[in-house]
Amino acid sequence: MTATPDLVLYHGPNSRSLRARWMLEEMGLPYTLEPVAFDRRPIGDDAYGEIHPLRKVPVLRDGADLVRDSIAIMEYLAARHGPTDLVLTPAEAEYGRFLEFLQFGEAGMLMPLNLVVAHTALLPEDQRNPSLAKWGRMECDKLLNFIETTGLAGGREYLAGGRFTAADISVGYSVYLLKILRQFDRSATGVDAWFKRITARDAWKRASAT
Ligand SMILES: N[C@@H](CCC(=O)N[C@@H](CS)C(=O)NCC(=O)O)C(=O)O
């Protein structure tokens, strides 16, 4: 019998740690949630700086192992604590597509999204640059259009493999961020329907509850 994992998730409200928490909930793994103070920059305290020198969330602690990236945490949980249908195996059709959207949620979406966050909300008002916010917003609209026309092409219900996977969690978190920032392009109706579908899951409700 495999020993019960000793998992701790360092978490911040509405942050990328939601991806890791959603994955933990989908997999039904027991974990302890460790809130990191988000009302200051850098986040957390000096003790947290020992865990993540960049003072970012999420971090997953699994016994002696530390994983400091939301996408890496999802891959780690599937590989170390699976098996799980939340990832595609290399032998499956659409494995490449699965990897593409798994990475796209972070590497493809977060740079323009961060610009929007920084220049509409995060920075003090006198440091915000409306041109950068506008450019970020235009890029986000292109990204939503890409999800609509390519990710969900032909009435797909999920991004890859014909089932809900970690790729939906990865991109789903970024779309969640666009929505709470009120930057979601209302013309992306297919994305909207997909987002409603994936966030109707009990695991998301538990992950986003507090
Ligand atoms: N690529 C990393 C990015 C981590 C990251 O930037 N986290 C943000 C929260 S969503 C953070 O901790 N920001 C606090 C700060 O930069 O002060 C991941 O996906 O985990």
Taking the C-alpha atoms of residue 113 and residue 109, their distance in angstroms, rounded to an integer, is: 6
Residue 185 and residue 115 share a domain: yes
* Structural domain count of the chain: 2
Please, what's the b/e burial string for 59-69 (b: 16 or more CB within 10 A of its CB; e: otherwise)? Answer: bbbbeeeebbb
87 domain-assigned: no
61 domain-assigned: yes
Ligand 1 atom nearest residue 57's Cα: 12
Helices 70-81 and 17-27 pack at an angle, to 10 degrees, of 20
- The answer, yes or no, to whether any atom of ligand 1 lies below 6 A from the CB of 75, is no
Taking the C-alpha atoms of residue 69 and residue 58, their distance in angstroms, rounded to an integer, is: 6
Is 86 strand, coil or helix? Answer: coil
* Max CA separation in the chain (angstroms): 58
CA of 57 to the centre of ligand 1 (A): 5
Residue 127 and residue 178 share a domain: yes
Given 46, 81, 116, the domain boundary residue is: 81
Residue 112 and residue 52 share a domain: no
CA of 3 to the centre of ligand 1 (A): 31
**155: burial class by Cβ within 10 Å (0-12, 13-18, 19+)?**
exposed
176 domain-assigned: yes
**What is the arrangement of strands in the sheet containing 7-11, beginning at the earlier edge strand?**
32-35, 7-11, 59-62, 65-67
- The answer, yes or no, to whether any atom of ligand 1 lies below 6 A from the CB of 40, is no
Residue 51 and residue 99 share a domain: no
Residue 56 and residue 103 share a domain: no
Residue 202 and residue 99 share a domain: yes
Residue 63 and residue 23 share a domain: yes
Residue 27 and residue 107 share a domain: no
Q: What is the pLDDT of residue 1?
A: 41
Q: What is the pLDDT of residue 2?
A: 57
CATH number at residue 39: 3.40.30.10
Given 29, 51, 81, the domain boundary residue is: 81
Whether residue 165 contacts residue 158, with contact meaning beta carbons closer than 8 Å, is answered with yes
Global pTM reads 0.96
Given 56, 81, 106, the domain boundary residue is: 81
**CA angle, 34 as apex, 32 and 39 as ends, to 5°?**
160
Cα→Cα distances 147→52, 136, 199, Å: 32, 17, 16
Domain that holds residue 99: 95-207
CATH number at residue 102: 1.20.1050.10
1 domain-assigned: no
Q: Would you write out the chain's pLDDT as a tens digit for each of its 210 residues? A: 457 889 999 999 999 999 999 999 999 999 999 999 999 999 999 999 999 999 999 999 999 999 999 999 999 999 999 999 999 999 999 999 999 999 999 999 999 999 999 999 889 999 999 999 999 999 999 999 999 999 999 999 999 999 999 999 999 999 999 999 888 888 889 999 999 999 999 999 999 997
- The answer, yes or no, to whether any atom of ligand 1 lies below 6 A from the CB of 17, is no
Residues in the chain: 210
Q: What is the pLDDT of residue 4?
A: 83
Residue 183 and residue 99 share a domain: yes
